[in-house]
Structure 1
């Protein structure tokens, strides 16, 4: 049977647990409850001579989600809500990828029990891109931030579902290794909240802002001398996802909950302005 260009397979559709085990083999399938299509629609529709396989990412059903893994906040793992009455979620790990030949996939249908909304398919797309396009900060900055990174994560965690992104601005030092202990990194933080997901998102962002200001001030400001040590927190601001401009977003660096350092590469913003409608 030839691969039909008008295939039922699209990015964001799922292969069931039984079909995954029939289509491929390997130890990685032990905990998988299905797999979600990662390939782009045009690549899926292309003939097997041009694109011979469809890429999937294995997923695992979970009862409770982690807010820090919603909305593509973590570049290695994402939690997506399923469209089920029970409000279930799936956990998807970008390192758990499989490739199914189209001649094998032609005998299967998408799983009706595993579906996500169009909006969350777009979130999934953004998350896939983060694997290859995300901010990395100077080693010296990361070393100085130290446990402050965890402090920021803890401050955001209770309101994580309301906050679309945490953006950093290091000014001209975004790729500079500052070695002089008397010099500081000047840090401004922007919390992007999404009131279309939660009505009180702005209030939650305000709460996170206060926690971040308090914890980083306590960590880096010498109360006796009034001097900042290592990092100077210039500002923590909040803004709606519907108010931030593309230019503003592209000028800032996304602080991922799993970010790494860099030595030579130029960090780029991974924040993308989401669509105006959320459904």
Structure 2
């Protein structure tokens, strides 16, 4: 039975009408289970897939849905862990009538629930751009966060920021800013690593902000590390997630998304 996260083997690509892409090893179902199960072909005639390739190892910057354009996701194949790279732009639609001729490759199964896949798929449609006036003031800060975040990507789940007021301001009016560095709990050293990063960011903040002082000022009210177990759903709702791949209102660099 086809479900979200099911794998279509490359040997079946031509059977269902997919081109034989030399870089593609598998295709991953991304349609919701309810849509797949809907037998009314006038309403849900097709199933959506993302073409994926097998990579040697994950890039921490692309795990846990950090990057809205690329996801590195683990599957179990036999007794081995296989790392898949999914690229959001490589979607294909297959008619359900063609899928009847093939079955999912059941030698693959996700190493965790589909929650990461679902969150990553949704992130492209719930991204929130910051006011341009705030982006301009924080451009050097965001560059620093991006650089340091990529160095420590395996331990960092996300950067979440809050700011006031939530509107465009003139250069004479200040913003207030709160930064949370959310770390995974898989290894104990991740906590200390993120605490050190928060400390470094607080120390560097005035220097970084001075480089854009003509754009206006930002008052950093808090910058701290917090574990994924402590970061609540309410925290997520009330903050903006900074991803290491981002756009502002003007489609320029350095605008967090959520």
Normalising by the residue count of structure 2, what TM-score does the alignment of the two structures yield?
A: 0.86
Matched-pair contact (CA < 8 Å) for 1:168–1:190: yes
Residues 1:257 and 2:244 aligned together: yes
Selected match of 2:6 from 3, 10, 13: 13
2:229 to 219, 228, 242: 242
**Match for residue 104 of structure 1?**
98
Residue equivalent to 2:29: 37
Deviations 1:75-97, CA, capped at 9 Å, x for gaps: 11111122245543111111111
Gaps in structure 1 of 5+ consecutive residues: 1-7, 223-227, 271-279
Q: Counterpart of 2:170?
A: 179
Compute the RMSD of aligned alpha carbons. 2.6
Whether 1:212 aligns to 2:201 is yes
2:193 aligned with 1:199, yes or no? Answer: no
**Contact 2:156-2:190 at 8 Å conserved across structures:** yes
C-alpha contact 2:178 2:221 (8 A) present in aligned 1: yes
Once the two structures are superposed, what CA deviation does each residue of 1:25-53 show, in whole Å capped at 9, x if it has no partner? Answer: 448x3422111100000110111233100
How many Å separate the matches in 1 of 2:2 and 2:80? 25
CA gap of 1:212–1:17, structure 2 versus 1, over 3 A, is farther
How many residues are paired up?
250
Residues 1:51 and 2:7 are matched in the alignment: no
Deviation at 1:229, TM superposition (A): 5.4
Partners of 2:125 and 2:221 in 1: CA distance? 30
In structure 1, how many angstroms separate the alpha carbons of the residues matched to 2:10 and 2:175? Answer: 49
Q: Secondary structure in 2 aligned to 1:154?
A: helix
SS of 2:170's partner is: coil
1:170 match: secondary structure: strand
Quote how far apart the aligned CAs of 1:66 are.
1.3
- Compared CA separation, residues 96 and 269, structure 1 to 2 (3 A): closer
More strand by share: 2
**Residues 125-144 of structure 1 aligned to structure 2 (within 5 Å):** 125-144=118-137
Checking the alignment, whether the CA contact within 8 Å between 2:47 and 2:96 is kept in structure 1 is yes
Which deviations, in whole Å up to 9, do the C-alpha atoms of 1:108-157 show, x marking residues without a partner?
121234432233x2100010000101221112222232243221022222
Matched residue, 2:65: 72
- The alpha-carbon distance between structure 1 residues 217 and 187, as it changes in their structure 2 partners (threshold 3 A), is same
Q: Distance in 2 between matches of 1:127 and 1:146?
A: 25
